[in-house]
Structure 1
């Protein structure tokens, strides 16, 4: 039966011409026998092409032979054995006629073996004349030489071991480990209790699995989930007692644990329509392919190309007569990242202490290389650290300070801190833990994170002041990473209220934890650098012009004194750390909540942490960073 899963484009020329070349029989020269036999052979070549096309039927090709039913089935069986997606069949030269009723012509055949590649051969079509009609002799040799009446072709596809994803030191982050694909038998063999167990123990939607099983053809294995072999061993006594549960073993490229760098490394599953397209022309619908993260982005590089053999076998003994096709696979190539294994472990361990959703990103300030990116406390495929779009809150006062310093203010410029400030009818206030202190400098406003002090200076900035300042930190550009990441945005404010809100990282300002870490890195290094996760793949180098030296010096002082005597005192005792806290108001389900932020650097390592629902940066993000910094050097 012809398969329908392949997606192949054949030109109309190919289908109508049967891939016959200009030297095919049936042309204007030659004897009447050559012309007549050549015409039927050309028709047969066309019909063969159509038979092996997606959704093709062999009946038309069979009807051109002297034994239609037998030959049609034979042609279809060879198609199925080869798992051919398309074929080209080109008659070569002119027919050679032994007499007036028997002519032969060679056929150049090229079949695309799905998931392997092209197999080429030459067969011979024999046209015989019965009465006034020419027919193709219904022989297996017409399809492939040596098939005869009973021999058959057997295809074997082999996959090379998947290459590893490596850390910055060449240490393998992934390896091919034993897995178990758990599913059910199609039809109604599985019971309600079976599907309930899938929901309870494997976090699989039992109702959807049941619907798929009932809709699947009889005798099929309906896969539900792929898990590590050691995890299956814990569940096996319970699951295997239930009706309809089936399993298949195998290997899959996996990190050492199910949680390690999951949102960066990504996941693998049996190919779907979308992931099969991404996997390239030699992938198969049965393959385990990357579905997210680096496993998806570098699927073809990591997977390599499959090999395969086709053997001609004796129809009676089932023994191989000879191997007629042999294609060696090519090994996948590793993908080297900038991740630091120890720092990644430290980041994940620090996030495990949080009861709220949180992310931590660490980058090398001088290069922009990403050292760690973690999401917690539970691992998830969604990479909040790279893709989250959050109001950065008071961490954005790093950018605001740079904007004010660029406008002519200095570290000692008076910035009064009041309880509230009104901007064209909109009242802004400070975070709950800060009481107004009146007169003070820009440095004090930064150390204490006074919203009203910074907003009081909004009229000193041009309309595009915050947008331009943000661009000096790389904010607002496409990060261009090999996996999806959000670089933030600071739109031109439509009015003074939006401008005021942007000065404290609220309103229309958004950024990912990665983007905020890069803000801190810019202060540390003096120049914003493009983030790099995969060297040679991701763009590298400066993302903007260097910050003015005086601005860099001021911001470094601001951030260091915020740790020694300001809102980031929780990090004191962890070396020469410089940081800025942040609390951002957000609306969740119609209610105002807060996210806690902290960004900073130590040595050449810059970092950012966000805690969704955190009361403040110092209380929520601070302890996580303290744990992280105490674990890394």
Structure 2
């Protein structure tokens, strides 16, 4: 009896270890795992080599790379030595999910379960010889809008001018390329090399021109053997230079961007590069529509059209609204058009903080000097000094001493060349401000501490965050600790004190409003600002190849909470800024029509040359407009930046 029972138990164990359902389910799970990683070389197939099936699978799915499916195995149905199991596919392709279910068939062959191969194992209804085809439908890129929703960047017609090598006939490709390059004014040698290297059926573009206003005609292009034009639409600003440092550009994606996107970008997509175009690229670009179809690549052009399998419509991008005034921005750029060094002109509306214009001149080489430049403000910083002195009890009538020179710990400070002798000696604070007496303000360093300079600067909107700006910006840096000659230098806007043209305009705007102004550029309510003040040790950027500063949260001042500028304080400073025009360096601004202009000039030395190079500054208030003009290598603020400001304000009306 014991032997019979033992034999029965042993037989039951052997059956349990060889349960057909368990083995079939294990085979189905192995199949799903292998298809997920797109490598079925270890899966046994009925009557086929696994390597051959693997090659076919990879060919079918190739168009969907780098995406791979997730496969859930459903409830298996077992019938003697055959099984059927649903495989639930989920693809995540560029953020779009494609789901479907197929049925896999398995059969028991000798001692293992093998898969019956069919393309329908991968996609329902897929036929022999067919592969998947993926196409995207890009929505139009959303517009940039300016003040009053005026379109800034919008879809515009362009013409690609180049050589179509199929149209060359017997003509020499290099000769045609040279002729076309000279017509459109590109490098003949470089373009000829491109044309020579291209295939025999290639179209090689030499330049892309705006349709509106182009002077090179189709007739001129077609007169050159192989010369040809194609048309398309691109998101463009009103001109090639319009606010380029702020807006950035839109270009076809490159291979690095495609790889970094993890499938979010494909060849032929457009993406933002630099500025707001890059910062808000996802919002502006929208979501591509997706089309997946089945096609037989061997059927040729006469074969059946691709058979649709799955599609989603494109989702348009959302416009980005800004405060830029098209007329003022164009006027600002026109004002700086002939300035050689890096330069900027920023206009802010004090009542709202709206940035109406932020132009960087041609010498900035495409860099956003207006918002990201970091420079010593020179005597424009005497606005900060004056507010500190007023908070210490001074008024515009307070008598201060303006000496020709002042020695601080062995370093001699002096006034600018040509300082009027009649404004030396005991003068009012208003007169010292109007003529920009360096020694008078440096002499106040014992009563105006460095900590107070830092606190007062923030009262005027300098070196604090701008939560409504919505763009990268440098808003100034004023160290809270400095002694001796460094503190003395801070009193005249040098040392480690740094501002951007934007923050200089905000300083003037705060005086105009009688309250601390926080600038705003992007007005969409859901956008967030990425602007802040970097550390006080940041260095000024170098014209031509600067990098944006590291954005960081501002540190609390050493003197505690910041007190915003008041209307009474602003009135006193405004009185002194008006004196700069009526009796000081900026008398030429009296000719500007409209509201009386209030201003402050500034000249800041930099570098190690003898004599040193200088930054030229001027800030002004004209009604509900605050403006800062900056020239990186510009001599005196009054003589270099001043006439630019006068021209701008006069034309702005």
Contact 1:61 1:72 in 2 (8 A): no
CA distance in 2, matches of 1:544, 1:217: 66
List gaps (5 residues or longer) in structure 2.
1-14, 165-171, 532-560
In the alignment, structure 1 residue 560 sits paired with structure 2 residue 583 = no
What value does the CA root-mean-square deviation take over the aligned residues?
A: 3.9
The residue correspondences of 1:149-548 to structure 2 (distance < 5 A) are 149-179=128-158, 202=186, 228=210, 234=216, 250-272=232-254, 282-313=264-295, 318-320=303-305, 322-377=307-362, 380-436=365-421, 437-480=424-467, 481-535=469-523, 536=525, 537-538=527-528, 545-548=563-566
- When residues 183 and 86 of structure 1 are mapped into structure 2, their CA distance, relative to the original with a 3 A threshold, is farther
> In the alignment, what sits opposite 1:569?
587
CA distance in 2, matches of 1:623, 1:503: 26
In the alignment, structure 1 residue 632 sits paired with structure 2 residue 644 = no
Residue range with higher mean Cα deviation, 134-143 or 506-515 = 134-143
- When residues 65 and 415 of structure 1 are mapped into structure 2, their CA distance, relative to the original with a 3 A threshold, is farther
> In the alignment, what sits opposite 2:536?
none
Contact 1:584 1:596 in 2 (8 A): yes
- When residues 482 and 58 of structure 1 are mapped into structure 2, their CA distance, relative to the original with a 3 A threshold, is farther
Q: Which of 105, 112, 126 is the matching residue for 2:85? A: 105
| CA drift at 1:421 | 0.7
| CA drift at 1:240 | 12
CA distance in 2, matches of 1:218, 1:60: 44
Greater C-alpha Rg: 2
In the alignment, structure 1 residue 39 sits paired with structure 2 residue 26 = yes
> In the alignment, what sits opposite 2:541?
none
> In the alignment, what sits opposite 1:612?
632
- When residues 477 and 273 of structure 1 are mapped into structure 2, their CA distance, relative to the original with a 3 A threshold, is farther
- When residues 278 and 91 of structure 1 are mapped into structure 2, their CA distance, relative to the original with a 3 A threshold, is closer
SS of 1:403's equivalent?
Answer: helix
Contact 1:259 1:379 in 2 (8 A): no
> In the alignment, what sits opposite 1:587?
607
Contact 2:460 2:564 in 1 (8 A): no
Question: C-alpha deviations, 1:47-67, integer Å up to 9, x for none?
Answer: 11112xxxxx56446879834
Question: C-alpha deviations, 1:224-262, integer Å up to 9, x for none?
Answer: 98765679985997999899x999864321112101121
Contact 1:160 1:304 in 2 (8 A): yes
SS of 1:323's equivalent?
Answer: strand
| CA drift at 1:566 | 1.0
Contact 2:68 2:91 in 1 (8 A): yes
- When residues 472 and 79 of structure 1 are mapped into structure 2, their CA distance, relative to the original with a 3 A threshold, is same
| CA drift at 1:368 | 1.2
Query: TM-score of the superposition, structure 2-length normalised?
Result: 0.80
| CA drift at 1:412 | 1.8
CA distance in 2, matches of 1:175, 1:108: 43
Question: C-alpha deviations, 1:371-407, integer Å up to 9, x for none?
Answer: 1010114674310000000000011111111111111
CA distance in 2, matches of 1:482, 1:239: 47
SS of 2:370's equivalent?
Answer: helix
> In the alignment, what sits opposite 1:603?
623
Residue range with higher mean Cα deviation, 548-557 or 277-286 = 277-286
Contact 1:596 1:616 in 2 (8 A): yes
Question: C-alpha deviations, 1:281-311, integer Å up to 9, x for none?
Answer: 6432531101111111111111111112223
| CA drift at 1:366 | 1.6
> In the alignment, what sits opposite 1:92?
74
Contact 2:120 2:126 in 1 (8 A): yes
| CA drift at 1:73 | 2.5
List gaps (5 residues or longer) in structure 1.
1-27, 52-56
- When residues 174 and 549 of structure 1 are mapped into structure 2, their CA distance, relative to the original with a 3 A threshold, is closer
- When residues 454 and 381 of structure 1 are mapped into structure 2, their CA distance, relative to the original with a 3 A threshold, is same
- When residues 525 and 355 of structure 1 are mapped into structure 2, their CA distance, relative to the original with a 3 A threshold, is same
- When residues 545 and 493 of structure 1 are mapped into structure 2, their CA distance, relative to the original with a 3 A threshold, is closer
Residue range with higher mean Cα deviation, 313-322 or 467-476 = 313-322
Question: C-alpha deviations, 1:124-143, integer Å up to 9, x for none?
Answer: 21223333333222211111
Query: TM-score of the superposition, structure 1-length normalised?
Result: 0.83
